[in-house]
Amino acid sequence: AKGVWPIMCCGESLECRDEGRTLEFVCAQVRAGLAGLQPEQAAKCVVAYEPIWAIGTGRTATPQQAQEVCAAIRATLAELFGQQAADKMRILYGGSMKPENVGLFLPMEDIDGGLIGGAALDADSFAELVRAAE
């Protein structure tokens, strides 16, 4: 739709992560959430990986953990829509990204940006995060 950027959020609970089911669970969410789309439609979507256990808890995935999940998401997108569409799609990480850690996540190959929640509630903190991301 004109002017709308669809963002599909996905993420696992702490129990799911502790059981070693993160990749299976998150990729199943992506498959279900984007089912029925054509590659050209999917290419306009954004997928945000936001582990439930990292929302507002002060805990965050390591950059390597986030990269592993985002790489699995990208592989799932390629499987569903082809590599060309998967490469066009943006994958964001949204688990407690802050000015202190944004520089660790953004260099990861399959993390295209951040889905900023709590850090955006304070204008100074958000501005600091934006500066740190440059």
CATH code, domain carrying 85: 3.20.20.70
Which residues constitute the domain of residue 89?
7-133
Q: Is residue 121 classed exposed, middle or buried when 0-12, 13-18 and 19+ CB atoms within 10 A define those classes? A: exposed
Residue 2 lies in a domain: no
Residue 89 lies in a domain: yes
Please answer whether residues 58 and 15 qualify as being in contact, where contact means their C-beta atoms are separated by less than 8 angstroms.
no
Q: Which residue has the higher pLDDT, 35 or 119?
A: 35
- Range from 70-79, 85-94, 123-132 carrying the lowest mean pLDDT: 123-132
Rg (CA), the chain: 15
Please answer whether residues 23 and 68 qualify as being in contact, where contact means their C-beta atoms are separated by less than 8 angstroms.
yes
Total domains, the chain: 1
Residue 87 lies in a domain: yes
Residue 38 lies in a domain: yes
Give the H/E segment covering residue 114.
strand 113-114
pLDDT of 39-67, one tens digit each?
A: 999 999 999 999 998 877 777 789 999 99
Residue 1 lies in a domain: no
pLDDT band at 87 (very low <50, low <70, confident <90, very high): very high
